[in-house]
Structure 1
Amino acid sequence: MAALFAPLAMAGAASPLGGPRFATVLMDADTGEILYAEQATAIRHPASITKVMTLYIVFDALDAGRLRLDDRVVMSSRAVAQRPSKLGLGIGQSLSVEEAISVVAVKSANDISVALAEKVAGSETNFARLMTAKARQLGMRQTVFANASGLPDPAHFTSAQDIAILSAAMIRNHPNHYRCFSEQSYSYGKLRLANHNKLLGVVRGLDGIKTGFTNDSGFTLTASAVRDGRRLIAVVLGSPSGWQRDRDITSLLNTGFTALDIRRNGGTEDMAALLSSSGFTLNRSLRPVPQLVALDVEEGDGE
């Protein structure tokens, strides 16, 4: 299996990013059509969007009967040692698989992501191999996973297009589990955990799925919305701030649904013109890299 992944790993090593770079994709989830893209297949760091695949593997195990929602997930020393964002349980403490899923989806907890990986595959390394194999099965061609959290690793990379493919697969193949990404908050014991995705309940029809941030990745988000029976997926990677990322996702989704309406009425849309009129900045990957603004990220990592 290592030989299968070596060419992609070398390709990533040969393309150092030198910092976050903007990339984006707007996809029709029903048809797979790319409505707009910029640097769609360029290698990027996904940050905590990684956890969409982490949970995908967990959902596969649940559906196959290899895992149950009431199974206990025990915290190892490796899991406890993960950097924030984290839940903060101690070694030997545990929570149910059901609780772990919500904590990962809402809190984006790196410690719980690793504990889940160890529960499913025995080790995070083995779990990462399952993640990469699943990525290849889904048609994600620019992706290699090195961990279950999305914390920085040179061998851990993806593309905006691959994240859109993964998001569509999650919605299509695990529709009942997908709703965990729509929870605006989750209560664990006395803790009330707020979702990092601030667009839930704000953008019409938006029902998931995952944010991310590290210094290597910039601010990232894959989001999906449904209006009038049509579903779109928007992905933004490498944004300099959470505010800019959220603004871009909102513009992409609103413009995409406007384009679908134009088509429905027999017209032909000009996506670039529509996006530009919405305030979306085109050709951003060709501009100088702006300084990251991390003030809105808890602990500064692992959103």
Structure 2
Amino acid sequence: MFVRRIVLAVAFSLAALVPAWANPMLLVDRSNLAVLYAEDAGQPWHPASLTKLMTAYVVFEELGKGTVTLDTPVTISKNAWNQAPSKSGLKVDSSISLKDALYILVVKSANDVAVALAETVAGNEAAFVAKMNDVAQRMGLSGTHFVNPHGLHNPAQVTTARDLAVLSLYIEQTFPQFMPMFGTGVVRLGNARLESNNGLLEGFAGTTGMKTGYVCASGLNIVATVDRGGRKLLAVVLGGSSARERNERAAELVLEALNGQRQPTGQNVLALSNSVGAAPVDMRSRICGKESEAYVKAQQALFPIGMEGQPSFLTDQVAVHEYTAVDLGRVRNNIAMPRPRPPHTPTFSTPLESAALKGPVSPSVAAAAALDIPMPRPRPADL
């Protein structure tokens, strides 16, 4: 008790040095869209590399339309190569298959590959971003706007925890065949080992995905999906002061639901409102600026889970899924190096308009129907 009082006293003294901030967090039951916990879920926030969830979705949709295939070569242009890290390590004019590019995009969060995919699918970044914003509008993501396909900071690139949850539901329920990409922990490319930053994949049993992101202005973000104890849960945590905090808070939300500490709030994630027109929070001074040392120490004192000598929620021994990508070599005049691949048979063929989230999973949300927001489809029972 004495030690706990000391910890709390330190936490309060450190927190007084920097402005207090409650970061957005959201916990959703994916089986029925019930909100189990929501804190500032509609607060505008910079997505960082969570942007790539939409980048992937747009590519999935183009695959469904047949404009590209999983074997389509994706070439690293000079423009793509010039992007800031995180990067794939591929050279200018080198090429990989679109399937391999998606794995590298999702697992390594490679910004060069995000641009290369945009150029491959839409001809240029601007045209691809227009597709991203079109999808966001059709999904009813009223708090979301994209400026680039990678998530490197732009003040106008904004989303909310609510919108990220809805986007993640679309990915899972419209294109479930691609979910293994988001549950992959390592991509091998030549001699390189490209690793995911999602610590739940290797330390929290039942984690199936999805994505992390970080820039100074956003702090450390995560969307995580977990299938465990007969439950299908989705957690969103934005603005963490460290990867430890971000990952542990997401795991804590899930465990609280599994332990019965988080019950349905009576809200449906589709019916949550966004603070449209509000300015996004800029975490730069807290994460990378002059306030960062005091802010991070205050966060550590208030939430020490996972620090040295403290308990952790990420103690499971989980086998990490790996995927091997292949550098097809340099490409000139759109002629790629040959690489035999098995024929690809698409498992879907319809775009969002007819393959949208709908059905009896949550038929009671009349408000969503009135806004023409499609509903998630029921999923097959686990065998």
Give distance in 2, aligned partners of 1:24 and 1:140. 17
3-state DSSP class of the match of 2:68?
A: coil
Amino acid at match of 2:220: F
Distance of 1:79 and 1:133 partners within structure 2: 23
Q: Which residue of 1 aligns with 2:106?
A: 105
Counterpart residue type for residue 73 of structure 1: V
Output one character per residue of 1:238-263: Cα deviation in whole Å (capped at 9) or x when no partner: 11111011110010011122238x97
User: Take 1:136 and 1:51, find their aligned partners in 2: how far apart are those partners?
Assistant: 17
TM-score after normalising by structure 1? 0.79
Number of residue pairs matched by the alignment: 254
Deviations 1:225-283 (A, max 9, x none): 012443111000111111011110010011122238x97xxxx99xxxxxxxxxxxxxx
Q: Distance in 1 between matches of 2:171 and 2:243?
A: 24
Q: Secondary structure at the match of 1:147?
A: coil
| Aligned equivalent of 2:129 | 128
Displaced runs of 4 or more, over 4 A: none
**Highest Rg: 1 or 2?**
2
Aligned letter for 2:114?
S
Q: Which residue of 1 aligns with 2:146?
A: 145
Q: Secondary structure at the match of 2:113?
A: helix
If each structure's helix is expressed as a fraction of its own residues, which one has the higher value?
Answer: 1
Q: Give the structure 1 partner of residue 319 of structure 2.
A: none
Deviations 1:7-52 (A, max 9, x none): xxxxxxxxxxx9x971111111122211111111010001101111
In the TM superposition, what is the alpha-carbon distance from 1:192 to its structure 2 partner?
Answer: 1.4
Give the CA RMSD over aligned residues: 2.3
Match of 1:202 in 2: 203
Say if 2:249 is the partner of 1:256. no
Residue 188 of structure 1 is matched in structure 2 by 189
Q: CA deviation at 1:75?
A: 1.4
Aligned to 2:52: 51
Q: Which moved more, 1:135-144 or 1:41-50?
A: 135-144
Q: Check the 8 A contact 2:229/2:258 in 1, yes or no.
A: no
Distance 1:101 1:189 in 2: 17
Q: Which shows bigger deviation, 131-140 or 214-223?
A: 131-140
Assess if the C-alpha contact under 8 Å between 1:21 and 1:237 holds in 2: no
SS in 2 for 1:259: coil
Query: Is this contact kept in 2: 1:107–1:195, CA < 8 A?
Result: yes
1:21–1:239 Cα contact (<8 Å) kept? no
Unaligned runs of 5+ in 2: 1-18, 266-280, 297-383
CA–CA separation in structure 1 for the residues paired with 2:71 and 2:189:
15
- What secondary structure does 2:236 align onto? strand
Secondary structure at the counterpart of residue 192 of structure 1: strand
Deviation digits for residues 108-130 of structure 1 (CA, Å, limit 9, x no counterpart): 00000010011111111111111
How many Å apart are 1:62 and its aligned residue? 1.3
Contact 2:125 2:149 in 1 (8 A): yes
- Whether 2:158 is the aligned partner of 1:157: answer yes
214-223 or 227-236, larger mean C-alpha shift: 227-236
d(CA) in 2 for partners of 1:94 and 1:140?
A: 33
Question: Superposed, which structure 2 residues align to 1:28-47 within 5 Å?
Answer: 28-47=29-48
Give the 3-state SS of the residue equivalent to 2:193 in structure 1. Answer: strand
Question: 3-state SS of the aligned residue for 1:146?
Answer: coil
Give 1:211-290 correspondences, 5 Å limit: 211-259=212-260
Distance 1:32 1:141 in 2: 18
What's the offset of the Cα at 1:204? 2.0
Q: Please tell me the residue identity of whatever aligns with 1:185.
A: V
CA contact (8 A) 1:160 1:236 kept: yes
1:175 alignment counterpart:
176
TM-score (norm 2): 0.63
Q: 2: CA distance between counterparts of 1:218 and 1:78?
A: 26
- The CA distance in 2 between the partners of 1:257 and 1:121, in whole Å, is 42
Q: Aligned partners of 1:78, 1:256: CA distance in 2, in Å?
A: 45
* Structure 1 residue runs without a partner (length 5+): 1-17, 270-284, 294-303
- Residue identity opposite 2:51 in structure 1: T
Residue by residue, what CA displacement relative to the aligned partner does 1:100-146 show, whole Å, maximum 9, x if unpaired? Answer: 01111111000000100111111111111111111121121100011
Q: Secondary structure at the match of 2:26?
A: strand
1:106–1:193: 8 Å Cα contact kept in structure 2?
yes
The amino acid of 2:85's aligned partner reads: P
Cα distance in 1 for residues equivalent to 2:260 and 2:165: 19
The aligned residue for residue 69 of structure 1 is: 70
Kept in 2: contact 1:21–1:44 (CA 8 A) = no
Displacement of 1:150 after TM fit? 0.5
CA–CA separation in structure 1 for the residues paired with 2:22 and 2:215: 12
Residue identity opposite 1:64 in structure 2: K
Partner of 1:13: none
Q: Could you tell me how far apart the structure 2 residues matched to 1:245 and 1:109 are?
A: 20
Query: Percent identity at matched positions?
Result: 38
Return the alpha-carbon distance in structure 1 between the equivalents of residues 31 and 67 of structure 2. Answer: 30
